[in-house]
A and B are shown apart, each in its own frame.
Chain A
Protein backbone atom coordinates (compact mmCIF):
# COMPACT_ATOMS: atom_id res chain seq x y z
CA UNK A 1 0.00 0.00 0.00
CA UNK A 2 1.25 3.48 -0.90
CA UNK A 3 1.51 5.86 2.02
CA UNK A 4 -0.43 9.10 1.48
CA UNK A 5 2.11 11.89 1.76
CA UNK A 6 0.06 14.78 0.44
CA UNK A 7 -3.38 15.56 1.83
CA UNK A 8 -5.41 17.73 -0.57
CA UNK A 9 -8.83 16.65 0.72
CA UNK A 10 -11.12 19.14 2.45
CA UNK A 11 -10.70 17.33 5.77
CA UNK A 12 -7.52 18.11 7.68
CA UNK A 13 -5.95 17.58 11.10
CA UNK A 14 -6.89 19.99 13.87
CA UNK A 15 -4.92 23.17 14.39
CA UNK A 16 -2.06 22.05 16.74
CA UNK A 17 -3.08 24.54 19.45
CA UNK A 18 -6.67 23.24 19.30
CA UNK A 19 -5.43 19.69 19.72
CA UNK A 20 -3.59 20.59 22.95
CA UNK A 21 -6.69 22.31 24.32
CA UNK A 22 -9.00 19.46 23.32
CA UNK A 23 -7.05 16.98 25.41
CA UNK A 24 -7.05 19.23 28.46
CA UNK A 25 -10.69 20.14 28.00
CA UNK A 26 -11.86 16.56 27.99
CA UNK A 27 -10.16 16.18 31.38
CA UNK A 28 -11.58 19.35 32.93
CA UNK A 29 -14.53 20.47 30.80
CA UNK A 30 -16.94 17.63 31.50
CA UNK A 31 -19.29 19.55 33.79
CA UNK A 32 -22.66 20.93 32.65
CA UNK A 33 -22.27 24.75 32.48
CA UNK A 34 -25.96 25.28 33.25
CA UNK A 35 -25.83 23.53 36.66
CA UNK A 36 -25.22 25.35 39.95
CA UNK A 37 -22.31 23.23 41.16
CA UNK A 38 -18.75 24.52 41.52
CA UNK A 39 -17.69 22.48 38.48
CA UNK A 40 -20.72 23.73 36.56
CA UNK A 41 -19.95 27.37 37.37
CA UNK A 42 -16.36 26.92 36.29
CA UNK A 43 -17.47 25.25 33.04
CA UNK A 44 -19.92 28.11 32.44
CA UNK A 45 -17.14 30.66 32.91
CA UNK A 46 -14.89 28.80 30.46
CA UNK A 47 -17.76 28.54 27.95
CA UNK A 48 -18.42 32.30 28.13
CA UNK A 49 -14.72 33.04 27.64
CA UNK A 50 -14.69 30.78 24.58
CA UNK A 51 -17.74 32.51 23.11
CA UNK A 52 -16.19 35.94 23.75
CA UNK A 53 -13.01 34.85 22.00
CA UNK A 54 -14.98 33.53 19.00
CA UNK A 55 -17.05 36.72 18.89
CA UNK A 56 -13.92 38.88 18.88
CA UNK A 57 -12.41 36.90 16.00
CA UNK A 58 -15.64 37.06 13.98
CA UNK A 59 -16.27 40.71 14.82
CA UNK A 60 -19.69 40.12 16.38
CA UNK A 61 -21.25 40.31 19.87
CA UNK A 62 -20.72 37.29 22.14
CA UNK A 63 -24.42 37.14 23.02
CA UNK A 64 -25.30 36.88 19.32
CA UNK A 65 -23.58 33.50 18.93
CA UNK A 66 -25.39 30.16 19.18
CA UNK A 67 -23.13 27.10 18.87
CA UNK A 68 -24.70 24.06 17.17
CA UNK A 69 -23.48 20.52 16.55
CA UNK A 70 -24.84 19.73 13.08
CA UNK A 71 -24.51 21.90 9.97
CA UNK A 72 -27.97 20.83 8.78
CA UNK A 73 -29.43 22.21 12.01
CA UNK A 74 -27.40 25.39 11.54
CA UNK A 75 -28.85 25.98 8.07
CA UNK A 76 -32.37 25.30 9.34
CA UNK A 77 -32.02 27.69 12.30
CA UNK A 78 -30.37 30.42 10.26
CA UNK A 79 -32.83 30.40 7.36
CA UNK A 80 -36.11 29.20 8.82
CA UNK A 81 -35.75 31.50 11.85
CA UNK A 82 -36.10 34.48 9.46
CA UNK A 83 -39.29 33.15 7.81
CA UNK A 84 -42.03 34.14 10.23
CA UNK A 85 -44.88 33.61 7.76
CA UNK A 86 -43.16 31.24 5.35
CA UNK A 87 -42.16 34.06 3.03
CA UNK A 88 -40.51 33.03 -0.28
CA UNK A 89 -36.89 31.93 -0.02
CA UNK A 90 -34.44 33.09 -2.69
CA UNK A 91 -31.20 31.12 -2.94
CA UNK A 92 -28.50 30.12 -5.42
CA UNK A 93 -28.26 27.02 -7.63
CA UNK A 94 -24.84 26.25 -6.14
CA UNK A 95 -25.95 26.35 -2.50
CA UNK A 96 -25.49 23.30 -0.29
CA UNK A 97 -28.18 20.62 -0.44
CA UNK A 98 -29.37 21.63 3.05
CA UNK A 99 -30.58 24.95 1.60
CA UNK A 100 -32.42 23.15 -1.20
CA UNK A 101 -34.07 20.89 1.37
CA UNK A 102 -35.35 23.88 3.38
CA UNK A 103 -36.51 25.68 0.22
CA UNK A 104 -38.40 22.64 -1.06
CA UNK A 105 -40.96 22.90 1.73
CA UNK A 106 -42.33 26.29 0.60
CA UNK A 107 -42.30 28.90 -2.19
CA UNK A 108 -38.80 29.56 -3.45
CA UNK A 109 -36.72 30.95 -6.30
CA UNK A 110 -33.40 29.44 -7.36
CA UNK A 111 -30.90 31.92 -8.82
CA UNK A 112 -28.91 30.58 -11.76
CA UNK A 113 -25.15 30.42 -11.85
CA UNK A 114 -22.85 31.76 -14.58
CA UNK A 115 -19.91 29.88 -16.09
CA UNK A 116 -17.51 31.82 -13.84
CA UNK A 117 -19.24 30.29 -10.81
CA UNK A 118 -20.99 33.48 -9.69
CA UNK A 119 -24.68 33.54 -8.84
CA UNK A 120 -26.74 35.71 -11.21
CA UNK A 121 -28.94 38.29 -9.42
CA UNK A 122 -32.71 38.01 -10.08
CA UNK A 123 -34.48 40.27 -12.59
CA UNK A 124 -36.92 41.71 -10.08
CA UNK A 125 -36.99 42.97 -6.49
CA UNK A 126 -38.54 40.83 -3.79
CA UNK A 127 -38.52 42.84 -0.56
CA UNK A 128 -40.77 40.44 1.36
CA UNK A 129 -38.54 37.43 0.73
CA UNK A 130 -35.73 35.85 2.72
CA UNK A 131 -32.44 35.78 0.82
CA UNK A 132 -29.87 33.02 1.41
CA UNK A 133 -26.39 33.96 0.21
CA UNK A 134 -23.19 31.98 0.06
CA UNK A 135 -19.96 33.90 0.72
CA UNK A 136 -17.89 31.36 -1.22
CA UNK A 137 -18.60 27.98 -2.73
CA UNK A 138 -17.07 25.00 -0.89
CA UNK A 139 -16.42 23.03 -4.11
CA UNK A 140 -14.95 25.66 -6.41
CA UNK A 141 -13.95 28.37 -3.93
CA UNK A 142 -15.63 31.03 -6.08
CA UNK A 143 -16.44 34.11 -3.98
CA UNK A 144 -19.95 35.40 -4.57
CA UNK A 145 -20.98 39.00 -5.24
CA UNK A 146 -23.36 39.13 -2.28
CA UNK A 147 -23.79 42.90 -2.20
CA UNK A 148 -24.85 42.96 -5.87
CA UNK A 149 -27.50 40.29 -5.26
CA UNK A 150 -28.89 41.77 -2.04
CA UNK A 151 -29.08 45.21 -3.67
CA UNK A 152 -31.24 43.74 -6.43
CA UNK A 153 -33.51 41.70 -4.14
CA UNK A 154 -33.93 44.61 -1.68
CA UNK A 155 -34.90 42.48 1.31
CA UNK A 156 -33.63 43.19 4.81
CA UNK A 157 -33.74 39.53 5.86
CA UNK A 158 -30.49 37.98 4.67
CA UNK A 159 -28.92 34.67 5.67
CA UNK A 160 -25.19 34.28 5.05
CA UNK A 161 -23.49 30.91 4.56
CA UNK A 162 -19.89 31.42 5.66
CA UNK A 163 -19.18 27.71 6.24
CA UNK A 164 -16.56 27.51 3.48
CA UNK A 165 -15.06 30.98 3.77
CA UNK A 166 -14.81 31.22 7.57
CA UNK A 167 -12.28 33.99 8.25
CA UNK A 168 -10.49 33.58 4.91
CA UNK A 169 -12.29 36.50 3.25
CA UNK A 170 -14.19 39.63 4.19
CA UNK A 171 -17.95 39.53 4.32
CA UNK A 172 -20.57 42.21 4.01
CA UNK A 173 -21.70 43.21 7.49
CA UNK A 174 -25.29 43.78 6.41
CA UNK A 175 -26.92 40.43 7.19
CA UNK A 176 -29.49 39.04 9.60
CA UNK A 177 -28.09 35.59 10.40
CA UNK A 178 -24.91 33.74 9.41
CA UNK A 179 -23.45 30.31 9.98
CA UNK A 180 -19.81 29.31 10.32
CA UNK A 181 -18.19 25.86 10.33
CA UNK A 182 -15.42 25.30 12.86
CA UNK A 183 -13.51 23.18 10.30
CA UNK A 184 -12.96 26.25 8.11
CA UNK A 185 -10.43 27.52 10.69
CA UNK A 186 -9.02 24.03 11.47
CA UNK A 187 -11.19 23.59 14.53
CA UNK A 188 -12.95 20.30 15.31
CA UNK A 189 -15.84 18.88 13.28
CA UNK A 190 -19.37 18.65 14.71
CA UNK A 191 -19.47 22.21 15.93
CA UNK A 192 -20.59 25.33 14.10
CA UNK A 193 -21.85 28.78 15.00
CA UNK A 194 -25.03 30.64 14.20
CA UNK A 195 -24.65 34.42 14.47
CA UNK A 196 -27.83 36.38 15.10
CA UNK A 197 -26.70 39.76 13.81
CA UNK A 198 -30.25 41.17 13.87
CA UNK A 199 -31.89 39.21 16.71
CA UNK A 200 -35.20 41.06 16.34
CA UNK A 201 -35.67 39.44 12.90
CA UNK A 202 -35.12 35.91 14.20
CA UNK A 203 -37.45 33.48 15.97
CA UNK A 204 -36.40 30.04 17.14
CA UNK A 205 -38.01 27.78 14.45
CA UNK A 206 -37.69 24.65 16.60
CA UNK A 207 -40.50 23.67 18.99
CA UNK A 208 -39.90 25.59 22.26
CA UNK A 209 -41.74 26.50 25.44
CA UNK A 210 -40.46 30.03 25.98
CA UNK A 211 -38.92 32.81 23.93
CA UNK A 212 -35.65 32.91 25.88
CA UNK A 213 -32.36 32.80 24.00
CA UNK A 214 -32.02 29.11 23.05
CA UNK A 215 -29.11 26.98 24.19
CA UNK A 216 -28.42 23.91 22.10
CA UNK A 217 -25.94 22.32 24.53
CA UNK A 218 -22.89 21.67 22.37
CA UNK A 219 -19.81 19.88 23.64
CA UNK A 220 -17.72 22.21 25.83
CA UNK A 221 -14.36 20.62 24.84
CA UNK A 222 -15.22 21.07 21.15
CA UNK A 223 -16.26 24.67 21.80
CA UNK A 224 -12.94 25.42 23.56
CA UNK A 225 -10.88 23.71 20.85
CA UNK A 226 -12.77 25.64 18.17
CA UNK A 227 -12.21 28.96 19.97
CA UNK A 228 -8.46 28.31 20.29
CA UNK A 229 -8.19 27.19 16.65
CA UNK A 230 -10.03 30.32 15.50
CA UNK A 231 -7.95 32.65 17.66
CA UNK A 232 -4.73 31.18 16.27
CA UNK A 233 -5.85 30.77 12.64
CA UNK A 234 -7.11 34.38 12.59
CA UNK A 235 -3.50 35.47 13.17
CA UNK A 236 -2.15 33.06 10.54
CA UNK A 237 -4.80 33.47 7.84
CA UNK A 238 -3.01 36.25 5.93
CA UNK A 239 0.14 34.16 5.49
CA UNK A 240 -1.90 30.98 4.84
CA UNK A 241 -3.88 32.72 2.06
CA UNK A 242 -0.72 34.14 0.49
CA UNK A 243 1.00 30.73 0.44
CA UNK A 244 -2.13 28.96 -0.83
CA UNK A 245 -2.56 31.54 -3.61
CA UNK A 246 0.99 30.96 -4.84
CA UNK A 247 0.51 27.16 -4.83
CA UNK A 248 -2.94 27.45 -6.43
CA UNK A 249 -1.49 29.57 -9.26
CA UNK A 250 1.20 26.93 -9.87
CA UNK A 251 -1.39 24.15 -10.06
CA UNK A 252 -3.68 26.13 -12.39
CA UNK A 253 -0.77 26.99 -14.67
CA UNK A 254 0.38 23.35 -14.81
CA UNK A 255 -3.14 21.95 -15.32
CA UNK A 256 -3.91 24.44 -18.10
CA UNK A 257 -1.08 22.84 -20.10
CA UNK A 258 -2.99 19.52 -20.05
CA UNK A 259 -5.31 19.33 -23.11
CA UNK A 260 -9.10 19.50 -22.58
CA UNK A 261 -9.13 20.62 -18.96
CA UNK A 262 -11.98 22.63 -17.46
CA UNK A 263 -10.95 24.62 -14.37
CA UNK A 264 -13.87 26.06 -12.39
CA UNK A 265 -13.67 29.82 -11.78
CA UNK A 266 -10.64 32.09 -11.73
CA UNK A 267 -8.12 32.42 -8.93
CA UNK A 268 -8.71 36.20 -8.72
CA UNK A 269 -12.28 35.69 -7.55
CA UNK A 270 -11.86 32.50 -5.50
CA UNK A 271 -10.74 31.39 -2.07
CA UNK A 272 -7.02 30.77 -2.56
CA UNK A 273 -6.92 27.32 -0.96
CA UNK A 274 -9.57 25.64 -3.18
CA UNK A 275 -9.39 24.43 -6.76
CA UNK A 276 -11.70 22.28 -8.90
CA UNK A 277 -10.55 20.88 -12.25
CA UNK A 278 -12.20 18.42 -14.67
CA UNK A 279 -10.41 16.42 -17.34
CA UNK A 280 -12.38 15.44 -20.46
CA UNK A 281 -12.69 11.70 -21.15
CA UNK A 282 -11.37 10.69 -17.70
CA UNK A 283 -13.31 8.88 -15.01
CA UNK A 284 -13.26 10.84 -11.75
CA UNK A 285 -13.12 7.64 -9.70
CA UNK A 286 -10.24 6.14 -11.69
CA UNK A 287 -8.32 9.42 -11.59
CA UNK A 288 -8.87 9.79 -7.84
CA UNK A 289 -7.67 6.23 -7.18
CA UNK A 290 -4.65 6.61 -9.47
CA UNK A 291 -3.60 9.82 -7.71
CA UNK A 292 -4.16 8.12 -4.35
CA UNK A 293 -1.84 5.31 -5.46
CA UNK A 294 0.80 7.95 -6.13
CA UNK A 295 0.44 9.10 -2.50
CA UNK A 296 -1.90 12.09 -2.85
CA UNK A 297 -5.49 12.25 -1.60
CA UNK A 298 -7.97 14.62 -3.26
CA UNK A 299 -11.78 14.96 -3.41
CA UNK A 300 -14.03 14.63 -6.46
CA UNK A 301 -17.40 16.05 -7.55
CA UNK A 302 -17.87 13.53 -10.35
CA UNK A 303 -20.92 11.27 -10.35
CA UNK A 304 -18.69 8.31 -11.08
CA UNK A 305 -17.09 8.72 -7.66
CA UNK A 306 -20.28 9.44 -5.67
CA UNK A 307 -22.80 7.10 -4.11
CA UNK A 308 -25.95 8.53 -5.70
CA UNK A 309 -24.78 8.62 -9.37
CA UNK A 310 -25.76 12.31 -9.59
CA UNK A 311 -23.00 14.67 -10.75
CA UNK A 312 -22.04 17.67 -8.64
CA UNK A 313 -24.96 20.13 -8.81
CA UNK A 314 -22.42 22.95 -8.48
CA UNK A 315 -20.43 21.96 -11.58
CA UNK A 316 -23.62 21.16 -13.52
CA UNK A 317 -25.12 24.58 -12.66
CA UNK A 318 -21.97 26.35 -13.79
CA UNK A 319 -21.84 24.40 -17.05
CA UNK A 320 -18.43 22.97 -16.16
CA UNK A 321 -17.52 19.39 -17.08
CA UNK A 322 -18.72 17.12 -14.26
CA UNK A 323 -16.77 13.98 -15.12
CA UNK A 324 -13.05 13.52 -14.51
CA UNK A 325 -13.28 16.03 -11.67
CA UNK A 326 -10.87 16.48 -8.79
CA UNK A 327 -11.11 18.99 -5.95
CA UNK A 328 -7.94 20.16 -4.27
CA UNK A 329 -7.70 21.84 -0.86
CA UNK A 330 -4.39 23.49 0.02
CA UNK A 331 -3.77 23.46 3.77
CA UNK A 332 -1.38 25.67 5.77
CA UNK A 333 1.11 22.78 6.12
CA UNK A 334 1.19 21.93 2.40
CA UNK A 335 4.73 21.95 1.01
CA UNK A 336 6.24 22.82 -2.38
CA UNK A 337 7.35 19.20 -2.69
CA UNK A 338 3.76 18.01 -2.27
CA UNK A 339 2.51 20.50 -4.87
CA UNK A 340 5.17 19.38 -7.36
CA UNK A 341 4.30 15.73 -6.67
CA UNK A 342 0.58 16.33 -7.08
CA UNK A 343 1.05 18.19 -10.39
CA UNK A 344 3.27 15.39 -11.74
CA UNK A 345 0.83 12.71 -10.59
CA UNK A 346 -2.25 14.36 -12.13
CA UNK A 347 -0.44 15.14 -15.40
CA UNK A 348 0.81 11.56 -15.78
CA UNK A 349 -2.39 9.87 -14.68
CA UNK A 350 -4.64 11.93 -16.97
CA UNK A 351 -2.40 11.05 -19.92
CA UNK A 352 -2.41 7.36 -18.91
CA UNK A 353 -6.20 7.18 -18.45
CA UNK A 354 -6.83 8.81 -21.83
CA UNK A 355 -4.47 6.52 -23.73
Chain B
Protein backbone atom coordinates (compact mmCIF):
# COMPACT_ATOMS: atom_id res chain seq x y z
CA UNK B 1 0.00 0.00 0.00
CA UNK B 2 1.21 3.52 -0.82
CA UNK B 3 2.13 5.85 2.05
CA UNK B 4 2.39 9.61 2.09
CA UNK B 5 4.47 11.14 4.85
CA UNK B 6 3.28 14.73 5.05
CA UNK B 7 4.45 15.34 8.62
CA UNK B 8 5.85 18.84 8.97
CA UNK B 9 3.92 20.10 5.94
CA UNK B 10 1.26 22.76 6.45
CA UNK B 11 -2.11 23.06 4.74
CA UNK B 12 -2.93 22.73 1.90
CA UNK B 13 0.20 20.64 1.13
CA UNK B 14 -0.99 17.33 2.70
CA UNK B 15 -4.19 17.42 0.62
CA UNK B 16 -2.22 18.40 -2.48
CA UNK B 17 0.03 15.34 -1.93
CA UNK B 18 -3.06 13.12 -1.69
CA UNK B 19 -4.41 14.73 -4.86
CA UNK B 20 -1.20 13.81 -6.70
CA UNK B 21 -1.41 10.11 -5.75
CA UNK B 22 -5.15 9.43 -6.15
CA UNK B 23 -5.27 9.56 -10.00
CA UNK B 24 -2.74 6.70 -10.21
CA UNK B 25 -4.87 4.37 -8.02
CA UNK B 26 -7.59 1.98 -9.16
CA UNK B 27 -11.02 2.11 -7.46
CA UNK B 28 -10.83 0.35 -4.09
CA UNK B 29 -7.07 0.89 -3.72
CA UNK B 30 -5.87 2.66 -0.59
CA UNK B 31 -3.19 5.08 0.52
CA UNK B 32 -2.08 5.95 4.04
CA UNK B 33 -1.48 9.61 4.90
CA UNK B 34 0.57 10.74 7.89
CA UNK B 35 0.07 14.41 8.75
CA UNK B 36 0.46 16.48 11.91
CA UNK B 37 -1.27 19.57 10.49
CA UNK B 38 -4.47 20.33 12.46
CA UNK B 39 -6.30 21.27 9.25
CA UNK B 40 -5.78 17.86 7.61
CA UNK B 41 -8.64 15.94 9.23
CA UNK B 42 -11.37 18.56 8.59
CA UNK B 43 -10.00 19.09 5.09
CA UNK B 44 -10.02 15.34 4.34
CA UNK B 45 -13.69 15.30 5.37
CA UNK B 46 -14.47 18.11 2.91
CA UNK B 47 -12.20 16.62 0.23
CA UNK B 48 -14.00 13.25 0.51
CA UNK B 49 -17.37 14.93 0.03
CA UNK B 50 -16.13 16.95 -2.93
CA UNK B 51 -14.27 14.13 -4.73
CA UNK B 52 -16.37 11.07 -3.80
CA UNK B 53 -13.42 9.25 -2.18
CA UNK B 54 -13.48 8.07 1.45
CA UNK B 55 -11.14 8.16 4.42
CA UNK B 56 -10.89 6.74 7.95
CA UNK B 57 -8.79 7.83 10.91
CA UNK B 58 -6.33 5.05 11.81
CA UNK B 59 -4.93 6.92 14.80
CA UNK B 60 -4.20 10.56 15.59
CA UNK B 61 -2.29 11.95 12.60
CA UNK B 62 -2.72 8.86 10.36
CA UNK B 63 -5.49 8.43 7.81
CA UNK B 64 -6.49 5.58 5.46
CA UNK B 65 -7.81 6.93 2.17
CA UNK B 66 -9.73 4.78 -0.30
CA UNK B 67 -10.26 5.68 -3.94
CA UNK B 68 -13.87 5.08 -5.02
Indicate if the CB atoms of A262 and B11 lie closer than 8 Å: no
Indicate if the CB atoms of B50 and A322 lie closer than 8 Å: no
Q: 26 A-B residue contacts at CB 8 Å?
A: A280-B12, A280-B19, A280-B47, A282-B12, A283-B12, A284-B12, A302-B11, A302-B39, A303-B10, A303-B11, A309-B37, A309-B38, A311-B11, A311-B39, A311-B43, A316-B39, A316-B42, A319-B46, A319-B49, A321-B43, A321-B47, A322-B11, A322-B39, A323-B11, A323-B12, A324-B12
Total residue contacts A-B, CB cutoff 8 A: 62
State whether the Cβ of B16 lies closer than 8 Å to any Cβ in chain A. yes
Indicate if the CB atoms of B38 and A281 lie closer than 8 Å: no
**Interface range on chain B: under 10, 10 to 19, 20 to 34, or 35 or more?**
10 to 19
Instruction: Report the count of interface residues on A (CB-CB < 8 A).
Output: 23
Q: Which residues of B contact A262 (CB under 8 A)?
A: 46, 50
A contact residues vs B (CB 8 Å cutoff)? 115, 260, 262, 278, 280-284, 302-304, 309-311, 315-316, 319-324
For A303, A310, A321, which residue has the most chain B Cβ atoms within 10 angstroms?
A321
Among A115, A280, A282, A323, contact of B39 (Cβ-Cβ < 8 Å): A323
Tell me, in angstroms, the Cα distance from A278 to B12 when the chains sit together: 11
Indicate if the CB atoms of B49 and A323 lie closer than 8 Å: no
Tell me, in angstroms, the Cα distance from A281 to B16 when the chains sit together: 6
Indicate if the CB atoms of B45 and A319 lie closer than 8 Å: yes
Q: Which residues of A contact B64 (CB under 8 A)?
A: none
State whether the Cβ of B15 lies closer than 8 Å to any Cβ in chain A. yes
Which 7 pairs show the lowest CB-CB distances between chains A and B?
A323-B12, A316-B42, A321-B46, A311-B39, A323-B11, A303-B39, A322-B39
